[in-house]
Amino acid sequence: MSHFAAVEMVPGDPILGLSEAYVADTRPGKVNLGVGIYYDEQGRIPLLRAVREVEQALALEAKPRGYLPIDGLATYNVATQKLVFGEDSPLLAAGRVATAQTIGGSGALRIGADLLKQVLPIAKIAISNPSWENHRVVFGSAGFEVLTYAYYDAATHGLDFPGMLADLGKLEPGTVVLLHACCHNPTGVDLNAEQWQQVVELVKERKLLPFIDMAYQGFDVGIDADATAVRLFAASGIEAFIVANSYSKSFSLYGERVGALSVVGKDRDEAARVLSLVKRTIRSNYSSPSTHGGALVSGVLNSTELKAMWEQELAEMRERIHAMRAGMVEKLAAAGAPQFAFIQEQAGMFSYSGLTKAQVDRLREEYAIYAVGTGRICVAALNRANLDTVVNAVAAVSR
């Protein structure tokens, strides 16, 4: 008998399963809105010009591939800190932030989870209801009990802010609170600055530990505006918090696995001690991050010219998403479905469309349009060529 005889089949990721079904679909004009990827107007994953410039220069240099330090490329980490906390951040000036390059935003979440488990072994974590499904998986497998707090209000397709405050207010001191900085996945529903300020005050009063996941910085309004939550926590006097950020979307570098974990400590000394523990945690996991993606991001962020080019390209991506949201709402209204106006209020790549599981099934079966069973659609997969198809199908299944 094999040592693995007792292993049972684990259910696959439903979203990846959806993509497989999409690929196998032979109907012309099929559309995949199930993904979590930004596509350009031609339906392609963009390779940003700024990234290409760095990549070509790196290819010409043809440097040997040694290991990076455990915490990654120093130039990457410093540039990341400025982007996440702001150029003039007093926290950075005070040396209170420990940052490590990680294997994507997912790696930052996992290293952050493993770090917290060592420091606060009995703490629980609360995530939004709903949240990115991997939040539960990552923190659960790191040994956390995962609680939820109210977030999405299905009736308004917006934020249940009173419910959120009430639930956060009930958490025990020391509970970790996972917050989406912007472009909430899967709902597209975000807090405004005043609401963030109230959350910051509540978190401070209840002595909770904020863990901010920022996977879409620059995908809604801009680099600084989308980091409002981080900046408000930084200014709050709260001594410790964590930020996981990802460049997968903002640099269109999904497979390069580029992200970072930043831990804010009380002072320089605390940050240095935390960094030593972050490094041990990484060392015991994957040892050190990958070189190429880090070099690309660092190359862009550390060149004034390329950074400006990237910011322009990032702006083009978010403007295209805004245009698709506006176009979808306008065309749906014209097709007799004005109830989708809220799609324009939501932010980022995703929208909780309010479509039911049965409607999503009909979209797939009758119209070859793929969406997640929860009704989540990727607005960033729409373009002028597929928008009418999608709108007509959504209007038809909504009648």
Annotated catalytic residues are 132, 213, 249
Q: Is 101 in the site for ligand PMP (CB under 6 A)?
A: no
Among 72, 112, 130, 259, binds ligand PMP (CB under 6 A): 259
The nearer residue to ligand PMP, 237 or 255, going by C-beta atoms, is 255
The nearer residue to ligand PMP, 219 or 367, going by C-beta atoms, is 219
Among 215, 260, 275, 382, binds ligand PMP (CB under 6 A): 215
The nearer residue to ligand PMP, 180 or 364, going by C-beta atoms, is 180
SS3 helix, strand, coil % of the chain, rounded to 5? 50, 15, 40
How far apart CA 332 and CA 344 sit, in angstroms, is 12
Among 34, 72, 86, 105, binds ligand PMP (CB under 6 A): 105
Report the run of H or E that residue 156 belongs to, with start and end: none
Shortest CB 244 distance to ligand PMP, Å = 7
Q: Is 53 in the site for ligand PMP (CB under 6 A)?
A: no
Q: Is 102 in the site for ligand PMP (CB under 6 A)?
A: no
Could you tell me the two tokens for 110?
């996992």
Distance of CA 57 to the CA centre of its chain: 29
Report the run of H or E that residue 26 belongs to, with start and end: none
**Stretch near ligand PMP under the rule CB under 6 A, chosen from 53-61, 90-98, 100-108, 154-162:** 100-108
**Stretch near ligand PMP under the rule CB under 6 A, chosen from 67-75, 101-109, 153-161, 269-277:** 101-109
Shortest CB 217 distance to ligand PMP, Å = 11
Residue 251 exposure: Cα atoms within 13 Å on the Cβ side: 31
Binding to ligand PMP (CB under 6 A): which residues in 128-157?
132
How far apart CA 277 and CA 274 sit, in angstroms, is 5
The nearer residue to ligand PMP, 81 or 187, going by C-beta atoms, is 187
Distance of CA 98 to the CA centre of its chain: 20
Distance set, CA 351 to CA 151, 152, 188, 270, 383 (Å): 14, 12, 5, 40, 15
Phi/psi of residue 13, each to 5°? -65, 120
Among 34, 36, 294, 327, binds ligand PMP (CB under 6 A): 36
**Stretch near ligand PMP under the rule CB under 6 A, chosen from 8-16, 103-111, 369-377, 379-387:** 103-111
Shortest CB 109 distance to ligand PMP, Å = 6
The nearer residue to ligand PMP, 132 or 144, going by C-beta atoms, is 132
> Is the backbone peptide bond immediately before 121 cis, with ω within 30 degrees of 0?
no
Q: Is 250 in the site for ligand PMP (CB under 6 A)?
A: no
Cα-based torsion angle of the residue sequence 273, 279, 281, 282 in order, rounded to the nearest 10 degrees: 160
Number of residues that bind ligand PMP (CB under 6 A): 12
The nearer residue to ligand PMP, 96 or 257, going by C-beta atoms, is 257
Are 148 and 139 a contacting pair, CB within 8 Å? no
DSSP H stretches of helix in 86-192: 90-93, 104-119, 133-141, 161-169
Q: Is 248 in the site for ligand PMP (CB under 6 A)?
A: yes
The nearer residue to ligand PMP, 243 or 335, going by C-beta atoms, is 243
Distance set, CA 127 to CA 148, 201, 239 (Å): 5, 18, 21
How far apart CA 369 and CA 32 sit, in angstroms, is 6
Q: Is 106 in the site for ligand PMP (CB under 6 A)?
A: yes
Among 185, 262, 298, 398, binds ligand PMP (CB under 6 A): 185
Q: Which residues bind ligand PMP (CB under 6 A)?
A: 36, 104-106, 132, 180, 185, 213, 215, 246, 248, 259
